[in-house]
Amino acid sequence: MIFTSLPFVLFFSLLYLLLLATRNDIARRWILLLSSFFFYGYWNAWYLLLIWAVTGWSWIIGRYIANAASPQRKKWGVAAGVALSLVALAVFKYAGFFAGSILSPFGARPPSFLRDIVLPVGISFYTFHSISYYVDVYRRQVAPARSLRDYALYIAFFPQLVAGPIVRAAQFLPQLARPILLTGPNFAAGIRLVLAGAVQKLLLADQVSPFVDQVYAHPALYSGATEWLAALAYAMQIFGDFSGYSLMAIGLARILGFALPENFRMPYISMSVVEFWRRWHITLSFFLRDYLYIPLGGNRRGLVRTQLNVFVTMLLGGLWHGASWNFVLWGGLHGGAIVWNHLWERWPAPWLERQALWSFLRRPVCWALTFLFVILAWVPFRAVHFDTTMLLLERMWTLSDGVRWFHTPTVWTLAGFALWHIAYLCSFRSRLGNVLEERWIYALEAASLVTLLVMFAPLQSSPFIYFQF
């Protein structure tokens, strides 16, 4: 049941009407929790057993951490909780991959029970939620949830359950301390976000996905120029797909009276890879920073160790995305680029800043290099196999001959995407100021977005890319 499907629209409409009709706050919480379980079980009812297990043990361990007498015991509690969550993730997500990686040099395959493990949707996200809970309780950033129902709602809250944004316990649980309020302004703001997200998903990502899928499926067939276009299109596709999903999740939560954190902030205008990660999948970046990079030592142990911590964090961040060495490669590329970025800021940059020419060139050069790097780094992310990655990069580099295909919808969509970014850079929205808050502008915006969706959205939406992670 994906957000852009008819069953979900029916599900959410019924849920909202039911919540409106229910005045009792406790009843509203139960309705939200049960509907979240229904939403999750709609994929596969067996997955519910896993999410219930993760919820149960993390709630118990959270209470143990909060009530433990000594700091040592608290630490043990956190370690046990994190280990349990990671074991669940490792078994369901990585067991087959690691077994295959170890056995393949000997010409053997992993046993069938490992190969047949099905990745439960959203496991990467809700295990992170549980880890956030242990650590936030340990750091006293949030009080342990008193009610298992409220804690289960934090883990299973359906807008953010399957693909984020990654919500920390300290961000979500305090919202459950007050009654669930369904208000007009929240509804209007939420609808605006949902529509904007649907446009990003259906009119950006889904317009180009057939083209990208085709080119990546036949890397030797198409010309180098077509493969460049596909690389560019994939950058837009993954942004539209994931940012669109996140916006819809935030909007749906807002309609239900909850605030979820922002996940994307125009990442492709970044001037450096460091800035890119402050704009791309923000909740993951900050999660990795606070729950992995800082515990590894952060920047407190000298230059070399700091850069090593950055690299390891990004490597593991890459692996989190999927059980494939290509994701590790992608994470490693970004880790390497961030290290390079740090070193650049330390040595050549101060000297360059003093050169007159650099003040003119800095912004376009930094943007172009960052954008080019990000585009090229998406190639292994999308190609999945190492051989395909190398073939594609080689053909792009040599501008190989082959079938030329300049897919018109992709070119138009890319042009629209570029225009949108230019409008953002010109502060188009902020120049309009309060005009955007006028009711008639809201009506016009909503009608335009709905019209665009009705007229041009593909009738068969593809699944969200991040569901597989």
Partner 1 sequence: MPAIPRNFVARLALFGIAWCIGLELLTRLFLVSPSNVVPDPTLGSKYAPNSTVLIETPDAGFLRVSFNEFGFNDGPLAPGDHRRRILVLGDSYVEAFQLPRTQNFLGIMGRDRPDLRFVNGARSGLDPVTESLMLEKLAPLIRPARVIILVNSGDPADMLADGITVRRCTGTQGICDYTLRPIPPLHRSRLAGLLSGRSALLTYLLRRFQQPIDTQWAHLRGRLSPNARPGAATRAPGAYAAKDFEPLLALVFRRIAQRYGLIVVAVPDLQFESAGRSAAADGGAFEKRVGAAALKAGAVFFDAGPALMSAYARSGQPPNGFAFRRPGTGHLNAEGHAAVAHGLERYLGAFGGAAAG
| Cα–Cα distance, 389 to 340 (Å, whole number) | 23
The tokens for 189 are 């703001």
What's the closest the beta carbon of residue 212 comes to partner 1, in angstroms? Answer: 12
Task: From 53, 29, 283, select the one nearest 164 (Cα to Cα).
Answer: 283
**Which of 5, 67, 451, 468 is in the footprint of partner 1 by CB under 8 A?**
451
Stretch of residues binding partner 1 (CB under 8 A), selected from 123-131, 181-189, 325-333, 375-383: 181-189
Chain residues 393-412 in contact with partner 1, contact rule CB under 8 A: 401-409
**Which of 75, 429, 443, 468 is in the footprint of partner 1 by CB under 8 A?**
443
- 44 three-state secondary structure: coil
What's the closest the beta carbon of residue 162 comes to partner 1, in angstroms? Answer: 25
447 touching partner 1, by CB under 8 A: yes
Chain residues 277-336 in contact with partner 1, contact rule CB under 8 A: none
- 15 three-state secondary structure: helix
DSSP string across 201-261: IIIIIHHHHHHHHHHHH-TTTB-HHHHHHHHHHHHHHHHHHHHHHHHHHHHHHHHTT----
Q: What is the dihedral of CA 315, 320, 323, 325, to 10 degrees?
A: -20
What's the closest the beta carbon of residue 145 comes to partner 1, in angstroms? Answer: 30
Chain residues 13-52 in contact with partner 1, contact rule CB under 8 A: 20
Binding mask 348-387 vs partner 1 (x if CB under 8 A, - otherwise)? ----------------------------------------
Q: What is the dihedral of CA 344, 347, 349, 350, to 10 degrees?
A: 150
Q: Is 334 a catalytic residue?
A: no
Binding mask 110-139 vs partner 1 (x if CB under 8 A, - otherwise)? ------------------------------
Stretch of residues binding partner 1 (CB under 8 A), selected from 35-43, 78-86, 153-161, 182-190: 182-190
> Judged by CB, which is closer to partner 1: 408, or 430?
408
Q: What single letter denotes the amino acid at residue 75? A: K
Residue from 129, 281, 321, 334 carrying the catalytic annotation: 321
Chain residues 188-207 in contact with partner 1, contact rule CB under 8 A: 188
Residue 199 CA: distances (Å) to CA of 124, 280, 375: 26, 19, 22
Long-range CB pairs of 13-16, under 8 A, 24+ apart, other chains included: 16/182, 16/255, 16/256
Q: Within a 10 A sphere around the Cβ of 95, how many other Cβ atoms? A: 17
Q: Within a 10 A sphere around the Cβ of 34, how many other Cβ atoms? A: 12
| Cα–Cα distance, 226 to 407 (Å, whole number) | 9
181 touching partner 1, by CB under 8 A: no
The tokens for 269 are 């205008």
Stretch of residues binding partner 1 (CB under 8 A), selected from 56-64, 85-93, 263-271, 448-456: 448-456
> Judged by CB, which is closer to partner 1: 70, or 460?
460
Stretch of residues binding partner 1 (CB under 8 A), selected from 84-92, 317-325, 330-338, 453-461: 453-461
415 touching partner 1, by CB under 8 A: no
What's the closest the beta carbon of residue 187 comes to partner 1, in angstroms? Answer: 7
Angle at 270 between CA 339 and CA 346, to 5 degrees: 35
**Residue 165: cis peptide before it, omega within 30 degrees of 0:** yes
> Judged by CB, which is closer to partner 1: 214, or 299?
214
> Judged by CB, which is closer to partner 1: 124, or 223?
223
DSSP class of residue 92 equals I
> Judged by CB, which is closer to partner 1: 185, or 433?
185
How many residues interact with partner 1 (rule CB under 8 A)? Answer: 26
Stretch of residues binding partner 1 (CB under 8 A), selected from 98-106, 151-159, 215-223, 276-284: 215-223
Task: From 309, 197, 185, 305, select the one nearest 254 (Cα to Cα).
Answer: 185
455 touching partner 1, by CB under 8 A: yes
184 touching partner 1, by CB under 8 A: yes
What's the closest the beta carbon of residue 440 comes to partner 1, in angstroms? Answer: 9
What's the closest the beta carbon of residue 210 comes to partner 1, in angstroms? Answer: 8
What's the closest the beta carbon of residue 220 comes to partner 1, in angstroms? Answer: 4
DSSP string across 50-87: HHHHHHHHHHHHHHHHHH-SSHHHHHHHHHHHHHHHHH
User: Binding residues for partner 1, per CB under 8 A?
Assistant: 20, 182, 184-185, 187-188, 210, 214, 218, 220-221, 401-409, 443, 447, 451, 454-455, 459
List residues with catalytic annotation. Answer: 321
